[in-house]
Structure 1
């Protein structure tokens, strides 16, 4: 039997590769339609955002940085968490396996057929994509899409999605500052709280506050992220205005809303300076602490891989409980009961936390109609802004007085 010539073999390999890419593209297009059914395939590149440069100079980033190796937990809590101040932490990821494992080559080899969440469909059901398809997308169509698909998966640790055991959870370690996790006391009621985040340039999350008053940390293993954060007292109509015909993706915010914060006011300040906007360029190996109540928006500047977790600690337990009591009453009751038990079992550590939650009984609960939820539209939230704003001031004023006793 005559063997095929080298040129014939190369030709067949090329055809197979082309057909393979075509199959990938077909599957990717279906997934894109599920995630954004309002867009046709051409509309994904309508605004040509890929032609713009969204990088910022390092001098714009004035966020304080602390060295994880030399900053104790008590010092972190005293200087940053208790004061509700964001900070960037260096050297957290120095010894993580993720440094070697969260590369394109390793992920393709070991997790190529694993499913990861990349969005929700019109029925609010999760949409998943295989890692091999995602990496193909990120190096092809994703390079030009205005707001590319990205992995934001709270179930990345589950082995049930594949035949092999998923060890991504073993690739990182929760930093010492954030090991306390009071929300675990709620058991199965607990909402999602940790996510694997992988995405290319211009992907990211729109402006939002983290759920239920929780604080968060985000450790970046690969790539660069651009952040803007706002103090809790910043008016929502400034940082989250209506953006039609644009969507509420991170890239749209940076293109449409960010420029308004750089305009000079009559007093010479920019709007961002007036309200204390914090700009951040997060680099590989850096971990950002985002306090509860701080609105923030995030955009990836290149292909990134990160892990992020929300948490409830002794320090922010009051604020988290009040937020949870308002948004999810049953979960709030469960959290309250479990912390009271903890206060009895471990009084030296948690009695003061249990007592502080007891004191919040005297703070009236916000009625469901006041204030805007995370999912409310800009139109509906702005129409009732005057009445809800005054109620919020009373609510948080009473809360702060109790905290400062």
Structure 2
């Protein structure tokens, strides 16, 4: 008998219903009490953040990484000590970002257990799951629909699954997540303070050059709407697309974090990609008549946004093909645990079809300014989706 857990949704209106964010409160819910379909429609489809209690209670790492109420330094040193991990220096800022280096985990653990720290070093963006090929946590069912990591794992590319470990007072600068994706973060140990801003509020913080500050100071910007959230051990937080945020470790803290995209926010990602391209084109507009203008814009777009149009199209085509294969009997299993049901697969395909139609009408495609091979694959996929949804 299959052990996979089926997940499905019950949505009649495929349009994302963005809220009047100024009127919302951030809900606090219990992981055991929320069903997948309800979370999908209430929070992801409406782009609303929430706190989820008791997420990591049964995770293996909750036992292995904690001992006698503190971080199990010996376990980390024994199991992962020879691995390299990226570490940010919260006291050393260069070009409005924290300076980073790599450290052996055993050296970082020696630093972390020392009570007299001369620096604030934050181990972050560590791909421990990929490095060890070991499932030390379970992806929460409410976050099972994750095209970004599905694509990365299928293509053996860098994933978007991270471990963060930091002492009290380490912090993450003010930012929105890569690709304008969703993110979830679960505290295995410790406490974090989050400050999150609804989409659009960040515009009030930009300087004359359009740059955002390294940190948002509520005392300096009285007219900015923001929420302060305290995240305790075992708590998860869902951060929707376009919600800028900054995070402070109030205690020594370990967390697991994912960035993800699915049918609820893929249109948000597309709009953000499109807007970033316009910004790039305006930035180097003086070179518009040069032969390399289009390719240079895509190169810069990839640098500032993380992907260009061709990467985005390959991503969409890959997910669409898997959904079509699923309907044809080749069942898609997510994180080796969850299986999408028909309503969910169909909704995914409708949303991808909508994005393909947006792409079709973009000047890059109407004027055939991207690879003919990519364009052919996209139009072929459009026809395949139409046929399967008849």
Trace 1:132-171 onto structure 2 (pairs within 5 A). 132-140=106-114, 143=117, 145=119, 148-159=120-131, 166=132, 169-171=134-136
Structure 1, unmatched stretches of 5+, are 1-61, 160-165, 264-270, 367-405
Residues 142, 209 of structure 1: alpha-carbon distance in 2 compared, 3 angstrom cutoff: farther
* 1:182 paired residue number: 147
Equivalent in 162, 165, 171 of residue 195 of structure 1: 162
CA contact under 8 A between 1:154 and 1:192: conserved in structure 2?
no
Q: Which has the higher strand share?
A: 2
Secondary structure of the 2:128 match is coil
Aligned partners of 1:157 and 1:71: how far apart in 2?
26
Structure 2, unmatched stretches of 5+, are 1-24, 66-70, 278-304, 328-341, 365-390
By how many angstroms is 1:286 displaced?
0.1
- 1:226 aligned to 2:193? yes
Aligned partners of 2:156 and 2:136: how far apart in 1?
26
What do residues 249-293 of structure 1 show as CA deviations (whole Å, max 9, x unaligned)? xxxx26xx23224x4xxxxxxx24xx2x11111000000000011
Trace 1:22-171 onto structure 2 (pairs within 5 A). 63-102=26-65, 103-105=71-73, 106-119=75-88, 127-140=101-114, 143=117, 145=119, 148-159=120-131, 166=132, 169-171=134-136
Question: Could you state the TM-score of these two structures normalised by the residue count of structure 1?
Answer: 0.60
Equivalent in 252, 256, 264 of residue 315 of structure 1: 264
Could you say what the CA RMSD is over the residues aligned between the two structures, in angstroms? 3.2
CA contact under 8 A between 1:339 and 1:353: conserved in structure 2?
no
Aligned partners of 2:208 and 2:72: how far apart in 1?
37
Aligned partners of 2:125 and 2:239: how far apart in 1?
19
Moved more, 297-306 or 98-107: 98-107
Aligned partners of 1:233 and 1:177: how far apart in 2?
26
What do residues 147-205 of structure 1 show as CA deviations (whole Å, max 9, x unaligned)? x111113432354xxxxxx36x4211100011122223365485541111000112121
Question: Could you state the TM-score of these two structures normalised by the residue count of structure 2?
Answer: 0.62
Aligned residues: 275
By how many angstroms is 1:298 displaced?
0.6
Equivalent in 192, 196, 214 of residue 181 of structure 2: 214
User: Which structure is larger by alpha-carbon Rg, 1 or 2?
Assistant: 1
Secondary structure of the 1:93 match is coil
By how many angstroms is 1:311 displaced?
0.7
What do residues 17-56 of structure 1 show as CA deviations (whole Å, max 9, x unaligned)? xxxxxxxxxxxxxxxxxxxxxxxxxxxxxxxxxxxxxxxx
Aligned partners of 2:144 and 2:36: how far apart in 1?
10
